[in-house]
A and B are shown apart, each in its own frame.
Chain A
Amino acid sequence: MPRSVVLRLDVADRVEHLPGQHYVVRLTADDGYRAQRSYSVASAPGDPQIELFVERLDDGEVSTYLADVVAPGDTLEVRGPIGGWFVWDGTAPALLVGGGSGVVPFLAMLRDARRHGRTDLLRIAVSSRTLVELPYAMELMDAEALIVLTREPYGDRVASRLMADELRALWEPGCTAYVCGSERFAEGASQLLVDVGVPAADIRVERFGPSGA
C-alpha cells in the first residue's frame, strides 16, 4: 500500500488559489452516500493543475479511495479554493513550521516564492518521524529547510522533537509564523513559538484532526 499519493487535477474554470488554501474532495457512492475531506494545495498559483497531497490513513474512508482506487482519467468532485486566513501573500517574511503532511501548504508557498525569486522571505522548519515519511523531502532539503526527525538522526542532529532554540534561530521580529500539522504537533509548535517570544497575534495555526481521514 502506498503511504501517500499526489493527485494532479485539471480543474476547469477554477479560481486561482492563494498559497495555503485547501480544496474539498467529495466522493459519492452509487446510492448517494457521500464523504468529503479537505486537502491542502501543494501547487503554486499559476500551475496549470491543482496538486493535492493525500496521506493514506489505513482506516481512512476517503484517503484509501484516493490512494488505492482513483486512476488517471477519473473525474472527482472538488470544491475550492477555501480559506482566507492560513494564506501567504507572497510579499511578507514568513516562518513556516510544519509537521508530517502539515508541510503541504508550505510547498505551495515555497513554490510560489521560487517562481517570484523571493525564497529569501521564507524560513522553513519541518518535522517528521523519519525522512522517508516526510512529504516532499527532497524539495524541502533543496530549500534548506530545517529538517527535524523525531525517530532517526539527520546529519549532525540527533533524533528529537523540534526545540525552542531551533525556532529562535529561525524567527525574526515582524515575520508571521505559520504552523500546520496534527493537533499535537500544532499545539506543541505554537506554544514553542510563544515561549520563544513570537507574539500570539503573529502566529497562524492550521490543525489536522481526524478530519484528515
Chain B
Amino acid sequence: MSGPTRGFLGRRRERDARLPPGQYDVGADWPVLTAEPTPRISPETWSITVDGKVAEPTTWSWDEAHRLPSSEYRGAIHCVTTWSKFDTHFAGVSVDTLLEAARPTADAHFVVATSKTGYTTNLPLEDVTGGKAWIVWEFGGEPLPIEHGGPVRMLVPHLYFWKSAKWVTRLTLLTRDQPGFWEQNGYHDRGDPWREQRYQGD
C-alpha cells in the first residue's frame, strides 16, 4: 500500500539533492535523541579501547588520543527521525588510525561500539574503515557538548546517526554481527539513509 494519500499535498518540493529520501533540513538546530539520561563524563576519566578480534588490544587516554594524527569531517549528518543537518564540522581521530595500532585479525568482520552508558551499536567493519568513521571531540571548533555525546563520540556520517554512538569508550571487533541497542529494538541493522534503511525489513 504505497499509493497517494487522499488530499496530501506536502510541503515545498524543491528538494536539496543532499537530502536522502524522507529527510528534511533541520537548519541550525541539532536535536538531542538519547534513550538514557545524559551521563557526566570528564575528559580525565575518559578513555577509548579497541579490543576483540585484534592483534594488539589498545587503550588510549584523553591525552594519548589527542596526540594521534588529527582528522576531521565536514558534511551532513542524518537522523532516522527524519532530520538531516548540513555543513557540520567535527574533529578528532580517524577510526582507521586506531585500527592501525590495534591491527584487526583476518576474521574480524564487524564492530560493536559501546558507550559509557552501556549503549551499543553494531557496524560492519567496512563501514568504519577507509576514512568513513571517526572518534570526535570537537564540533564547529568547540569541545563537543555533553548532550551531543561529549567529551567524545563516534561519528559515522554515511549511516543514520544512531550508529554514531555518543560517549563512546570501546570498539570491539567481532567475527559475527551482534545487534546493538536500537538494532535489537526494531531498527535496521545497517541504517543507510540513501536506501532509507530505518526499520528492520526496509
Contacts and interface: CB of A to CB of B under 8 A. Distances in A.
B22 interface: yes
Nearest to B39: A200
A82 B186 contact: yes
Interface in A3-54: 24, 27-31, 33-38
A61 B5 CA distance: 13
Given A29-B8, A65-B7, A193 B2 contact: no
Interface in B153-184: 181-182, 184
B10 A210 contact: no
A74 interface: yes
Contacts of A27: 5, 8, 10
Interface in A81-114: 82-86
Interface residues of A, number: 42
A211 B79 contact: yes
A36 B22 contact: yes
Contacts of A35: 10-11, 22
Interface residues of B, number: 39
Interface in B104-142: 117-118
Interface string B1-40: 1111111111101000000011010100101111111110
Contacts of B24: 61
B190 to A, nearest CB: 17
Interface of B: 1-11, 13, 21-22, 24, 26, 29, 31-39, 79, 81-83, 117-118, 147, 181-182, 184-186, 199
Given A65-B7, A187-B147, A207-B31, 18 more contacts: A24-B199, A34-B21, A35-B10, A35-B11, A38-B81, A61-B10, A61-B24, A69-B7, A74-B6, A79-B199, A84-B185, A85-B35, A183-B32, A200-B39, A205-B35, A205-B36, A210-B29, A211-B79
Interface of A: 24, 27-31, 33-38, 61, 65, 69-70, 74-77, 79, 82-86, 183, 187, 190-191, 193-194, 200-201, 203-207, 209-211
